[in-house]
Amino acid sequence: MPHTYCTNFVHCIFSTKERIDSIPDNAREHLYAYMLGIAKNLRIEILALGGTSNHLHILLALPAKQSLSDAVRDLKANSSRWMSETCKPFSWQEGFGAFSVSPSQIPTVKRYIRHQIEHHRKRNFEEEFLLLLKKSGVDFDPQYVFG
């Protein structure tokens, strides 16, 4: 797309179905590597990946032609299929959270994503997600956030 210039940095978060601890510790790095491969095939840059046994954070740099919903759908569908073939039956939750990131905040968000295990010694996924929604000014009804 000539003469089109954009930066779309997005911090995406999604959990396993019903937030069950279904990402084994020994599979996490393999899952990240697989997702990096999916993103490369989709021409999406992943700047950071991190998570725990029940959710994942991804910092994406989306190209101008790529829709966020399509990118997350493709990452989730392909990684879910791979996890089911590799580990056991697996699926991600429906939907996701996505928060725009200013270029000046990329280093902070990268650190946050890469240190998820430490963060979750203090706060569970549900508390973290609700806090991010509030900090980002997202209007939501708490009774419907987690289904």
Average pLDDT taken over every residue of the chain? 93
Single pTM value for the model: 0.92
Domain count, the chain: 1
Say which CATH number the domain at 31 has.
3.30.70.1290
For residue 1, pLDDT over 70 is answered with: no
* 8 CB-contact burial (10 Å; exposed 0-12 / middle 13-18 / buried 19+): middle
As a whole number, mean pLDDT of residues 110-135 equals: 92
Residue 143 lies in a domain: no
Per residue in 33-89, pLDDT tens?
A: 999 999 999 999 999 999 999 999 999 999 988 999 999 999 999 999 999 998 888
Helix (H) or strand (E) holding 29: helix 25-42
Domain range holding 88? 9-136
Residue 17 lies in a domain: yes
For residue 147, pLDDT over 80 is answered with: no
Residue 145 lies in a domain: no
Bigger pLDDT: 4 vs 32: 32
pLDDT score, position 28: 93
Which of 16, 147, 12 has its CA nearest to residue 93?
Answer: 16
Residue 19 lies in a domain: yes
| 87 neighbors 11 (Cβ within 8 angstroms) | no
As a whole number, mean pLDDT of residues 4-12 equals: 90
Residue 146 lies in a domain: no
Residue 12 φ/ψ, nearest 5 degrees: -105, 145
For residue 130, pLDDT over 70 is answered with: yes
pLDDT score, position 52: 95
